[in-house]
């Protein structure tokens, strides 16, 4: 079962030991990432954004929220490759989610802002970079893993690796990212 993806201002207040109005002030001042629900306008705080807020303010991250900072979003074709990437990520202790198309990938990315993402084709990089620019509040490990990838550098922020021959390097990249979070 997946954990919660968003928190109410009351839940954030309980975690921090403050009044919910303090949380609203943090949101209004831009210190804490949130969005308003249509209708009543209640605020919702993405868990990943809250974890970043806690870390940047040197506050303890509750155990039940720590695992959510290991989210990995995968957009890969064919389906077999997506399953292989997800399996390798799970073995490394990550929580992978596979998107079946670019539209679902964009939606999942905006909802979760994962700690890492994997694409199976360089064709999708430009579109994903546009989505990332709208959510600049978090550094995301970006990996392109495919059978036809030959260049290994990451001059544009994307790590490239040949799949499946570089599975070990894939896990190493995830572990390096995990230790820096």
What does the mean pLDDT of the chain come to? Answer: 85
Query: How confident is the model at residue 6, as a pLDDT?
Result: 87
pTM recorded for the entire structure: 0.63
Q: How confident is the model at residue 173 (pLDDT cuts 50, 70, 90)?
A: very high
Q: Tell me how many degrees the CA angle 130-92-181 measures, rounded to the nearest 5.
A: 55
Query: How confident is the model at residue 180, as a pLDDT?
Result: 40
- How far is 12 from 46, CA to CA, in rounded Å? 10
Q: How confident is the model at residue 112 (pLDDT cuts 50, 70, 90)?
A: confident
Q: How confident is the model at residue 131 (pLDDT cuts 50, 70, 90)?
A: confident
Number of H helices, E strands in the chain: 8, 8
Q: Does domain 69-180 have CATH number 3.30.70.100?
A: no
Q: Which of 8-12, 53-57, 68-72, 120-124 has the highest mean pLDDT?
A: 8-12
Q: How many Å separate Cα 5 from the centre of its chain? A: 11
Q: Is the pLDDT of residue 2 over 60?
A: no
Q: Which of 109-113, 127-131, 133-137, 157-161 has the highest mean pLDDT?
A: 157-161
The structure tokens 């292989």 sit at 84
**Contact predicate 50/65, CB 8 Å:** yes
Quote the strand ranges of the chain, DSSP E.
6-8, 35-36, 43-46, 71-75, 95-99, 116-119, 141-146, 158-162
Q: Is the pLDDT of residue 66 over 70?
A: no
- How far is 162 from 159, CA to CA, in rounded Å? 10
Query: How confident is the model at residue 137, as a pLDDT?
Result: 52
Domain boundaries, the chain: 6-61, 69-180
Give every strand in the sheet of 95-99, ordered side by side.
95-99, 71-75, 116-119, 141-146, 158-162
Structure tokens at 35: 């969005």
Q: Is the pLDDT of residue 179 over 50?
A: no
Question: Which residues pair with residue 67 across a beta bridge?
Answer: none
CATH class in words for 6-61: mainly alpha
Query: How confident is the model at residue 128, as a pLDDT?
Result: 87
Q: How confident is the model at residue 68 (pLDDT cuts 50, 70, 90)?
A: low
């Amino acid at each position: 079962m997946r954990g919660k993806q968003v928190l109410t201002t009351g839940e954030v207040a309980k975690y921090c030991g403050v009044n919910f109005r303090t949380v609203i002030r943090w949101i209004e001042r831009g210190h804490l990432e949130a969005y308003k629900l249509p209708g009543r306008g209640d605020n919702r705080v993405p868990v990943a954004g809250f974890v970043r807020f806690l870390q940047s303010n040197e506050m303890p991250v509750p155990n039940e929220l720590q695992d959510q900072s290991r989210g990995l979003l995968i957009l890969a074709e064919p389906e077999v490759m997506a399953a292989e990437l997800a399996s390798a990520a799970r073995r490394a202790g990550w929580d992978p989610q596979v998107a079946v198309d670019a539209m679902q990938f964009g939606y999942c990315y905006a909802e979760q802002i994962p700690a890492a993402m994997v694409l199976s084709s360089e064709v999708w990089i430009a579109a994903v970079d546009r989505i990332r620019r709208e959510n600049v509040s978090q550094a995301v490990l970006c990996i392109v893993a495919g059978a036809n990838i030959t260049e290994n550098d990451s001059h544009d922020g994307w790590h490239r690796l040949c799949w499946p021959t570089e599975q070990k390097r894939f896990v190493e990249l995830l572990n390096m990212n995990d230790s820096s979070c």
